[in-house]
Amino acid sequence: MKFLRIALLLFACSLKANTSSSLPASTHLGSSNWYESSWLGVYFESSNSWVYQTNIGWLYIPFSNAENFWMYHADLKWLWTTSSIYPWVYVNEIKAWRYYLPQLGFYRADSKKWSSQAELVTEFSQNESDLYTSAYYSSGAITSNSNISTWFDRSLEINGLQLFVAGAVGGQIAVPDEWAKKIAQTVKLLTDPNDAEIDIPSQERMIQVLQGASGTWHAGYPAAQRLAYGGGSDYSPNPLTDSGIESYNGYQNLWNYMMNDMVWYRNSSDGEVNNVGNYDIAEVLEHLMHTIHLYGVPGAVTGSQNALQWDYEFHSGWQTSELYYAMKEAVDNGVFSLKDYGDENINTPDTYSVASKEYFYLLNFGMWEYGQEFWENGTLAPEWNDNARTPSGVQQNNPLGYALFNSYIKPVLSKPSLTDLRTIFQDNDGGTSGYVSD
């Protein structure tokens, strides 16, 4: 028995010695401290969290988690990836993604060019001097907030927009901080001043409008986006009903903000919990666009406040605005259907107001070609005709909408890359925000 215990002890020690502490799922190659990861490749592991990867060199790996993998390189600094998206690597020094292949280097999707490691490092200093920053752009941290009713217990401000995060109330669990960060990162991508298409003074005015700054059309009433879990009926009482609202103390404080739709975490409004990353993207973008289109874009570009009159209570000339004529053209040409919108009459104030936010969003998706990427089966017909899912289709079938987008939306909203969005929102609630507060 004594010899058996010694043998088992030696066997256990040999197993421990053959297990990588950096990536436990790796295969030991039979030679001291050499391993092979199915996704990171062959590497040598030291005893102090440093590994030598045969292609990229020495890497410091502070913790072992293949689904949230930070590593430090002496020249490339901090890099982030996961087992599911590698060889895409987030280069923190330039806040950008690169596709890494040992033979070719680092691929940049927007310019479609490969860079060597040395060339990528030279971008660091160039990028710092080229990036535009100002006091208008701010990335806040998530903080406790007891002033936004018992439904919401945390808030975050990102580039002028307040995010309100639902807590554990009404029998529902709290929205995770990471989901709030995913929404914040999406707002940051939508309001990127370094996008080549952005008119920075106009975008800065949009941030001021969102903030409800003095001199803007909803001064004193900041724009806010609510984030909650599942759907209204998942809470008891339902905070979306008149009687339910009264049950959440302090809810009346929300009337001091300009708000529209909810962004739902693990949306269950269709009866089943959504687990598809693409549908998360569609959900998040649609409702963020509703808020930003309505409470930020009008008043940003010179002339946009008159051109984009969507709310008859604020805008007495809505039936002569550019938005009205563009949407009417879309309806008349069969691009946009008013079915299920009030009485389906564009000249009815309530119908026009509700339909306006949907038209903004659908037009934006068409011009960015997002519908065929993120809508179920790539279509939203008959609400939005498939012939207007591309810029050329919009230009041909809704030319006034095409002009409206290019005049008032394109200068202030930046188009997030598909890679960025799909890295943040993956199936089964996967993905990582990458959000960093100031």
DSSP 26-62: PEE-SSTTEEEETTTEEEEE-SSSEEEETTTEEEE--
pLDDT tens, 135-174? 999 999 999 999 999 999 999 999 999 999 999 999 999 9
Q: Are 237 and 244 in contact (CB under 8 A)?
A: yes
DSSP annotation of 252 reads G
Statement: residue 13 has pLDDT above 80: no
Q: What is the mean pLDDT of residues 422-437?
A: 90
Q: How far is CA 40 from the centre of its chain?
A: 27
Q: How many CB atoms lie within 10 A of CB 364?
A: 23
DSSP-derived 3-state class of residue 238: coil
pLDDT tens, residue by residue, 229-279: 999 999 999 999 988 888 999 988 899 999 998 999 999 988 889 899 999
Q: Answer with the residue of higher pLDDT: 113 or 318.
A: 318
Residue 127, pLDDT score: 59
Q: What global pTM score does this model have?
A: 0.75
pLDDT for 378 beyond 90: yes
Please state, for a pLDDT cut of 70, what percent of the chain lies above it. Answer: 94
- What's the CA gap between 174 and 150, in Å, rounded? 12
Q: How far is CA 409 from the centre of its chain?
A: 18
Q: How many CB atoms lie within 10 A of CB 88?
A: 18
More confidently predicted of 186 and 126: 186
Mean pLDDT of the chain: 90
- Would the pLDDT of 215 be above 70? yes
Phi, psi of 363 (to 5 degrees): -60, -45
State whether residue 325 is helix, strand or coil.
helix
pLDDT of residue 65: 73
* pLDDT given for residue 316 in this prediction: 85
In DSSP notation, 278-321 reads: HHHHHHHHHHHHHHHHHHTSTTTSTTHHHHT---TTT-TTGGGS
Reference 160, options 198, 130, 205, 122; nearest CA is 205
On the question of pLDDT at 14 being above 60, the answer is: no
Averaged pLDDT for residues 77-87? 90
